[in-house]
Amino acid sequence: MIHCTEDMALDIQTIRKDFPVLDQKVYNKPLVYLDNAATTQRPIQVEEVVSQYYHNGTGNIHRASHFLSDKSTMAFENCRDIIQNFLNAKHREEIIFTKGTTEAINLVAQGFGEVFVGEGDEVIVSEMEHHSNIVPWQLLCDRNNATLKVIPFDDNGVLMVDKLDELITEKTKIISVTYISNVLGTINPVREIIAKAHQHSIPVMIDAAQAVQHTPIDVQELDCDFLAFSGHKIYGPTGTGALYGKKEWLEKMKPYQGGGEMIERVSFKETSFNQLPYKFEAGTPNIIGFIGLAEAIKYVTAIGLEAIAAYEEELLHYATSELLKVDGIRIIGTSPNKSSVISFIHEKAHHYDLGMLLDKLGIAIRTGRHCADPIADHFDISGSARASVSFYNTKEDIDLFIAAMKRVVQMF
């Protein structure tokens, strides 16, 4: 696999051969896929490994009394090693397989929350969270009579981290924030947040759903206590994802779900639980999905996240400056530190109309509130249109998007 040119820039044309799905027409127009923050496309390498496992058969994992079961278990557990390496986790049992970011956050809100968050305690999130990093904590606070507090952001979409000094009290039990906002594109200063929290011995959870595919992450260097991501946003199958958690926390937490695999011994009188990571992995997981996720992570790692980040930043700047040349556009989220996402509104055209008309011209973007109502509320808007780039997008994609935008806004 050679994905870099001699000067170490990404070789996008070679990369795009791995994504034949991008080379299709919709409504007789070339597809321009700019909805990568919602979900990414998968390279043929992922497709091939997944279809191989369907074709050749699988057995259920961790019940290796026969060949197929043994083979599936090895491939599945190999994914754990790959994620451990990818995130540089200290121990392989610190990687818990989940359906995605949402399940990983729910796991912590329940498993950590039921042990450590009691009546009168406080949980802190930020104003720019995806609903999946708000609602699980709200449900916890409702159950346990705790309070949810919020770090605000300013009108550029920059998190007001200084406010943490006022928000943190001796009642604060956990802080959970997104690394990169799926609406504003803001890259948050998570190191600073973690350092502040740790001064008070408060653990920090990082929602990395929009980060793992755009920036290298080393959980030991970050020193976060928990981190969640989704497979489908990093070129892997849907229904896969992972939670990283420091062993010392995971050991003290309650299991999230009960069922097969997460137990050591069950009787009607009492049940003892399996060791980490299995204590948090009840039931048969998406075995083939995780085998595909391993391949996706190998693929991204072979290209290199530094090179990906540099190229995507270039595309983001180009798209932003070109979009601002379209009459009537306002960009939502103007932090100087941004990644891969541009949300915007038009003075006359509703975002749904923009999305629908762009779609007919082959341009796939997302419209709406992006599962982050508080962000729309902050700007007092009904929603926005959002274009989000990946390393497989090209300058030509951006040019087609901008030309389509110019055509569409003329109708209003």
DSSP 159: B
Q: How far is the CB of 207 from ligand PMP (least distance, A)?
A: 5
Q: Is the dihedral of CA 88, 93, 99, 101 positive or negative?
A: negative
- A 10 A CB-CB count for 14 gives 13
| Nearer Cβ to ligand PMP (41/230) | 230
Applying CB under 6 A, does 207 fall inside the site for ligand PMP?
A: yes
Residue 56 burial by Cβ neighbours in a 10 Å radius (0-12, 13-18, 19+): exposed
> What track of x and - describes contact with ligand PMP for positions 249 through 278 (by CB under 6 A)?
------------------------------
Asked if 141 is an active-site residue, the reply is no
Among 100, 185, 362, 374, binds ligand PMP (CB under 6 A): 100
| Nearer Cβ to ligand PMP (72/176) | 176
Applying CB under 6 A, does 215 fall inside the site for ligand PMP?
A: no
| Nearer Cβ to ligand PMP (208/361) | 208
Q: In angstroms, rounded to a whole number, what is the distance separating the alpha carbons of residues 308 and 28?
A: 30
Among 210, 213, 384, 390, binds ligand PMP (CB under 6 A): 210
Applying CB under 6 A, does 213 fall inside the site for ligand PMP?
A: no
The secondary structure of 328-354 as a DSSP string is TEEEE---SSB-SEEEEEESSS-HHHH
| Nearer Cβ to ligand PMP (47/207) | 207
Helix (H, G, I), strand (E, B) or coil at 233: helix
List the catalytic residue out of 4, 141, 224, 371.
371
Q: How far is the CB of 130 from ligand PMP (least distance, A)?
A: 3
CA torsion 63→275→80→338, rounded to 10°? 140
Applying CB under 6 A, does 390 fall inside the site for ligand PMP?
A: no
Q: In angstroms, rounded to a whole number, what is the distance separating the alpha carbons of residues 241 and 233?
A: 9
Q: In angstroms, rounded to a whole number, what is the distance separating the alpha carbons of residues 180 and 186?
A: 5
Helix (H), strand (E) at residue 175:
strand 172-178
Using alpha carbons, list the distances in angstroms from residue 38 to 84, 141, 145, 376.
25, 28, 33, 17
Segment 113-142, which members bind ligand PMP (CB under 6 A)?
Answer: 130, 132-133
> Residue 365 region, left (φ>0) first, then alpha (ψ -120 to 50), else beta?
beta
Q: How far is the CB of 347 from ligand PMP (least distance, A)?
A: 27
Applying CB under 6 A, does 178 fall inside the site for ligand PMP?
A: yes
Q: How far is the CB of 27 from ligand PMP (least distance, A)?
A: 26
Q: In angstroms, rounded to a whole number, what is the distance separating the alpha carbons of residues 259 and 269?
A: 16
| Nearer Cβ to ligand PMP (41/178) | 178
Q: How far is the CB of 133 from ligand PMP (least distance, A)?
A: 6
| Nearer Cβ to ligand PMP (73/213) | 213
Applying CB under 6 A, does 230 fall inside the site for ligand PMP?
A: yes
Q: Of 64-72, 94-102, 195-203, 348-356, which part binds ligand PMP (CB under 6 A)?
A: 94-102
Q: Which residues bind ligand PMP (CB under 6 A)?
A: 100-102, 130, 132-133, 178, 182, 207, 209-210, 230, 371
> Catalytic residue numbers?
371
